Structure 1
Amino acid sequence: MTEQPAAGDGDGDVAVAGAGARRIWILAFVGFLLTIGAWSVAAPYDGTPDEREHMIRAAGVAAGEIAPPPAAAKKGSGAFQDVPAGLVREQCWQFKPTVSAACAVPPGSDDTPVRAGTGAGRYHPVYYALVGWPLDIWPGWSGVLLARFISAGIAAALLASAFVVAVNWSRRRLMIAGLLVAVTPMAAQMASAVNPNGVEIAAGVAFFAATIPLFLDRRPKPHHGLLILAGVSGLLLAMLRQTGPLWLAAAFVAFAFPWRQSNVGRLVREKAVWWWVGGIAVAALTAVGWGVVMKSSDLGKYGGHVYTYGQAAFAEADRWRSYLDQMVGVTSWLDTRMPAPIYLTWQFVAAALLIGAFVFGRLVDRGRLLVLIVAGTVVPSVMQVALVKQTGFVTQGRYMLPMLAGVMLFAAYVWEERGLDAARSRTLVRLSVILLLPIQLFTLILTMVRWQDGLPKYLTFRTINPFAGDWHPPLGSITPLLASVLGLTLLGVLAWRVSMRPLNEPDEPTPAIAEQTPAADLR
């Protein structure tokens, strides 16, 4: 989906052209699909947050119930859908980390239509139309796994496209490190489930990976592939969840201004840009209209303590410690925490990229980072405080990942443009591979233990056994483990190899637009 930069741009970069780019895309797609798909086959039915709610919505859309009447189906919100009886199952282990999934009745093949309530019944139907048809045709495990694989495949395609962008449009390929940081274990788990949030996170990664060079890179390179990727991922962001238009607006504000230091002037002269912008605008307006008509912003009433706004603000600030861990991976139904070093390691790599960007970036770079950070953190917190009396505290760290993926990718872009030479960029990419990919595997293993046997009060090496327990995945426990090892190995080898220092790269970094920017702007 992306094209290579023009050769001979004077910076010594080595682009991957034609068949080479396609080969990298295929390898990255297989790597991401195996990594995400491992979670798909490891999880029990309704194994990730709200998956049953989304499956009922997806099956209903597939059966033609696209806009069911809003009703008090769950916590005073949602809607009712007619779905196969084999998908309607009660919860018994969620939020009980010591209880395995063995108590649950698995999905069955009974296709008798029954009326079921779902909190997702008012949500935009596009995602559900893509993934829902297997649930309507084969409501047992076959349909559930196929629906999960469709969602995982969409996410893997978006992430593979972002990987190719990082190879071809990142001057020293440090954006690969930003991508590895952005695709957390939580992102992988959500992408593996029937839940629009997983595809939204992948779309956020792809959108920012394409948008950053599209708006900021001044070298005379073709950008039609970037435009296609930004357009497709932008359309998805506009429709998948209600926060999508906010992410799109924040990206435009961050990268389009100031006009003279972006590619806006070049972009507006191209007819294809206007077609994509028009399509995204229509999709966003349609999504907003859907939300108004269907009242999809009404999340229901979850009760709890009645806060003053001042109390809620301090309580929300205190919750950010847990949000940061949730972004990395508090898995299953937010009831499976990793050991503290897991979170600290991931957050250390993310903080290194962010701090480096602020240290080496110019004033305009810092301003753009602040716009992205405010949109991804401050705005959701303000919205949470404003709605706390109606909804309680419902915000989760994963909701912010689409936007914060842009923070990580742009931080890597700034650091490699302003601060690091090729050799040190390569070291940081490879350090990210060594530190982060094993965490992906460990998180899957510990979550499998939680699903299969329940978590003991105290973890030991002996209790972390993904082959034990009284519940096992429908394809067995070895399948997800093997898939994860193969996928992560493929991604690690690919990232390691493409991070090689470009030929003829000068020892000192050369800012991409330094020669076109007044000296005052470089401070």
Structure 2
Amino acid sequence: MSPPEPRSRLWGWWWAYFVAFFLVAGGWAMALPANGTYDEKDHIARAYAVVSGQLTTRQTVVDRRDDVRPAFLVPASLLPPNSNVDCTWSPRPARSAACQTWTTSRALTLTPSGAAKYSPVYYLLVGGPLLAAPDLTGIVLARLLSVLVTAALLAGAIGAALRLGSRLLAIGVVLTATPMAANLAGSVNPNGVEIAAGAAVCCGLLALLRAPEGRLGDGTVRRLLLLVGAASFVLLTVRQLGPLLLLLIVAACAALARPGRIAGMWRHHGAVWLVVGSWVAGLAASAGWMAYSGLADVATVARDARHYGVAEAARLLLTWRVPFYLKQFVGQFGYGETSPSAVVAAVWYLLLAALTVPSLIFGGRRLTLVAAGLGAASIGLLVALEIYYLPVVGWFAQGRYAMPAAVGVVLCVASDGRFERWLAARRRLRAFCGGLTVVAGLIHVYMLVVAMTRFQAGPGAPLDPFAGAWQPLLGPLPPLLATLTGVTIFAVLAATMGAAARPLMAVPTLPGVGSPRGGMAAA
């Protein structure tokens, strides 16, 4: 790995990456129509309700599928009406967002929300603009607040990577902030913030537990522990799977810790107790809210429930659901009906492979076992959710649910320093980092253009982000320019980091080509 950055320079990196992440996800925030991604209408109604004092509700309304749903009193202008809000994708065929009808009336109307029992933490963070401007303007502003939180957490993850001295871990953060993650970050949906929190916890713990002896001063350790504590609290409280996702991340990072490092953390008593306190408070808040709201109580939906035999369920999981999870990790937009070519998803996975496969070759057996275990646990969590909910509400799990922990597979592998030192010694690190980032940036822009064309002109229309019967609130140019600027900043930063890097220790060689594979403790 490279020497740690001076504190003043680290703040410069933090701000630059914060701006880049904000612009990339902000492009999605400005480009999407209302309810432009998974369940956004439910989260918008919930956010308005929370900031207007409606933490829970006993009121119900019959939705467009004739299901009785919890409902809140929100202004009629906040969303298109219940019968119309899903018109871009249901009923079939899917259409452009020009099908949505709006009113300027601020009269309160009962609006259903599938997020009615969700923790209020996220909605308190983003809901203010909806109270001030209950319309598409308020929705875009609420999205940008969500982007702000997400960008701060991801920039914190980058900062932790650079404190570890790992340029490849920083590139790993950029690559795990996939177009799907950017899409979710640029919507009113806690899933985007949750993914960023998972990355921040993982990078913070990796820096604390894997940094060479003497690299981190007491002040740096305290700042990293503060990052871990804050991001952990967010992860524990914004969605109901948070405690299990945090457990997976902590277990993976602990398995990669240097000998004696976990015990050594306890000499930073105040900072460590801040992390422990955040975990206790987050777990208490999560459990308390679930008990108070009855979130764990899920009513059976006979229309959607499925009762498969073991063999048939296993076949569908392997041939349909798991491939769906893997593709959604990269990008499957709208309500799943907007799916870019599988080739594009494959290219993104090739970028991840270019980063992770050599690192695994250099890294040793323990790194491989931890990465495989975390990956299997992430997919296993989704499969377990499917099996549990199939006879209750039908197919339930989505790949994005596991992303806060699944990103740790890439981040844990990228944190091993030997492949990075090998690249730096051969003066290839700059080209490697820049090349991965440029290709990732092009895919970000392409997927945004695909989604914009779909919502503006309808599915199947020729790619043209400027045409169509519907146009984004600020027009199509601002979201495109924002994302283009963001990915350009990423590319410049990646090349700059690679150029600045120098090998810190003896440079390893590939196993079997000059020296044996080193143990994990030598990283």
User: Where does residue 445 of structure 1 map in the other structure?
Assistant: 449
Correspondence for 1:33: 22
Deviation, structure 1 residue 367: 3.0
| Residue aligning to 2:95 | 99
Aligned to 1:233: 231
* Structure 1 residues 123-134: aligned runs within 5 Å: 123-134=118-129
Q: What residue identity is the alignment partner of 1:444?
A: L
One of 132, 136, 152 as aligned partner of 1:141: 136
Q: CA deviation at 1:466?
A: 0.8
> What's 1:5 paired with?
none
Amino acid at match of 2:50: V
Identity %: 31
Contact 2:87–2:94 under 8 Å retained in 1? no
Aligned to 2:151: 156
Aligned-pair CA distance for 1:520: 10
**Unpaired stretches in structure 2, ≥5 consecutive residues:** 510-517
Name which of 251, 254, 257 aligns with 1:256.
Answer: 254
Deviation at 1:142, TM superposition (A): 2.2
Q: Which AA in structure 1 matches 2:224?
A: L
Structure 2 partner of 1:8: none
* Aligned mate of 2:352, from 337, 350, 353: 350
Q: Distance between the aligned counterparts of 1:464 and 1:343, measured in 2?
A: 18
Match of 2:164 among 169, 177, 181: 169
TM-score, normalised on structure 2?
A: 0.89
After superposition, the C-alpha distances for 1:278-317 in whole angstroms (9 at most, x for unaligned) are: 2222211320232233232345536154213442232112
Secondary structure of the 2:110 match is: strand
Q: Which amino acid aligns with 2:99?
A: C
Instruction: Give, as a single letter, the amino acid of the residue that structure 1 aligns with 2:336.
Output: L
- State how 1:171-190 maps to structure 2 within 5 Å: 171=166, 173-190=167-184
Q: Distance in 1 between matches of 2:41 and 2:337?
A: 17
Equivalent residues in 2 for 1:38-437 (5 A)? Answer: 38-69=27-58, 79-89=70-80, 90=84, 91-95=86-90, 96=92, 98-106=94-102, 108-171=103-166, 173-220=167-214, 221-222=216-217, 223-257=221-255, 261=259, 263-271=261-269, 272-298=271-297, 300=299, 301=301, 303-318=304-319, 319-414=321-416, 416=418, 420-422=422-424, 423-437=427-441
Aligned letter for 2:222? Answer: H
Separation (CA, whole Å) in 2 of partners of 1:480 and 1:88: 21
Q: Is the 8 A contact 1:177 1:428 kept in 2?
A: no
Aligned-residue offset at 1:480: 0.8
Tell me if the contact between 1:331 and 1:337 (Cα under 8 Å) persists in the aligned partners. yes
Q: Give a deviation string over 1:371-422, Cα, whole Å, max 9, x none.
A: 3213311122122112211121121121121111111111111264688442
- Contact 2:3 2:165 (C-alpha < 8 Å) held by counterparts: no
Which stretch has the larger CA shift, 149-158 or 372-381? 372-381
TM-score computed with the length of structure 1 as normaliser: 0.89
CA 245–86 in structure 1, closer or farther in 2 if over 3 Å, else same:
same
Cα drift, residue 261 of structure 1: 2.5
- C-alpha spacing 1:120/1:26, structure 2 compared with 1 (3 Å): same
Q: Which amino acid aligns with 1:233?
A: A
| Structure 1 residue 21: Cα displacement | 1.6
Range that drifts further, 375-384 or 240-249: 375-384
Q: Is the 8 A contact 1:68 1:79 kept in 2?
A: yes
Using the alignment, how far apart are the partners of 1:299 and 1:356 within structure 2? 45
The equivalent position to 1:21 in structure 2, one of 10, 22, 39, is 10
Conserved 8 A contact 2:175-2:440: yes
Which structure 1 segments of 5+ residues have no match? Answer: 1-10, 511-517
Letter of the 2:413 partner, please give it. Answer: A
SS of 2:432's partner is: helix
| Whole-Å separation in 2 of the counterparts to 1:195 and 1:261 | 39
Greater CA deviation, 478-487 or 76-85?
Answer: 76-85
The residue identity in structure 1 corresponding to 2:245 is W
Distance apart, 1:114 and its partner CA: 1.7
Q: What SS is found at the alignment partner of 2:89?
A: coil
What is the alpha-carbon distance in structure 2 between the residues aligned to residue 27 and residue 125 of structure 1?
A: 31
Relative to structure 1, the CA distance from residue 245 to residue 472 in structure 2 (aligned partners, 3 Å threshold; closer, same or farther) is same
Deviation at 1:186, TM superposition (A): 0.5
| Deviation per residue, 1:226-270 (Å, 9 max, x gap) | 111111111000001111111211122223248772521111232
Asked if 1 retains the 8 angstrom alpha-carbon contact of 2:382 and 2:398, the reply is no
Which shows bigger deviation, 115-124 or 261-270?
A: 261-270
Which secondary structure state, in structure 2, belongs to the residue aligned with residue 79 of structure 1? Answer: strand
Q: For 1:163 and 1:206, how far apart are their aligned partners in 2?
A: 8
RMSD, matched Cα: 2.7
CA pair 465-313 structure 1, distance change in 2 beyond 3 A: same
Contact 1:216–1:262 under 8 Å retained in 2: no
The 2-side partners of 1:101 and 1:341 are apart by: 27
Mean Cα displacement is larger for which, 48-57 or 417-426?
A: 417-426
Note closer, same or farther for the CA distance 1:308–1:495 as it changes in structure 2 (3 Å cut).
same
Q: Distance in 1 between matches of 2:471 and 2:315?
A: 42
CA distance in 1 between counterparts of 2:472 and 2:94 reads: 18
CA shift for structure 1 position 321? 1.4
Q: CA deviation at 1:477?
A: 0.9
Partner amino acid for 2:254? A
Alpha-carbon distance in 2 for matches of 1:282, 1:77: 34
After TM superposition, the structure 1 stretch with the greater mean CA deviation from structure 2, 348-357 or 240-249, is: 348-357
Change (3 A) 1:490 1:314: same
Cα pair 2:362 2:418 within 8 Å, conserved: no
Distance 2:483 2:28 in 1: 8
2:458 corresponding residue in structure 1? 454
Task: Name the CA distance, whole Å, in 2 between partners of 1:377 and 1:42.
Answer: 31
Q: Quote the Cα distance in structure 2 between the aligned partners of 1:210 and 1:20.
A: 18
Q: Aligned equivalents of 2:292 and 2:267: distance in 1?
A: 36
Change (3 A) 1:237 1:182: same
Q: CA deviation at 1:158?
A: 0.9
Further displaced range: 302-311 or 328-337: 302-311
Structure 1 residues 137 and 522, CA, compared in 2 at 3 Å: closer, same or farther? closer
